[in-house]
Structure 1
Amino acid sequence: MLFNATPASDTGLPVVTHLGDEPSLSPLALADWCAEIGRTTADVLAVLFKLPAKPSTLALFEAEMREEVGAAIDAITRATDEKRSYLIQVAWVAFDRRLALHRRALPYGGSA
């Protein structure tokens, strides 16, 4: 496993605390890992779609999760600002694509 996640005391969301093999990861593997964070975060958010909630509540959760993804990647990478920005964008693109799949599947009672 590449990272250890522990629940954050203030939000209850998983927070990445350690990336075990980060220095030896290739740039593509690191980008893939960041994309997986984005996809997993979107999967968690998709669970909320099935609950009776106002659209504004879902939008708030989405904004909070986006912020947490960026903070988690920022906290574990020892990269330059440019590389960190790139990795966060990779995660957000994966997040957006997975979330779009969940939204399209929602009317049919499923999830991506």
Structure 2
Amino acid sequence: MRTLNSNELQTVSGAGLFSFIGSKIGGTIANVVANEHAMKGIQDPDGVTIAAGTILGQGIGGIIDNIFNPFRLNKTISDMATGIQLIKLANVITKSQMA
């Protein structure tokens, strides 16, 4: 038995191309934000910022992946809501450190 490559793993798990791309773009943008905060001395102890960007990006990409599959749209919308909640949490953490 061999190890699956990234594309095979996505296909088997049901993850779509746009969800994958969205998670990478969202994670990259969030990483830039986290690095800017770190340079200002603002800590992101649990990686909330990066998790928020990754999950939100995955949800946005998931809408494109599942546009014709309404049964999967609920999960996609749930992912986006989770990403938004994490952004709010990251904002609270940031503001508490700036005070």
Quick check: which one's strand share is greater?
1
TM-score, structure 2 as length reference: 0.41
TM-score, structure 1 as length reference: 0.37
Larger Rg computed on CA atoms: 2
Quick check: which one's helix share is greater?
2
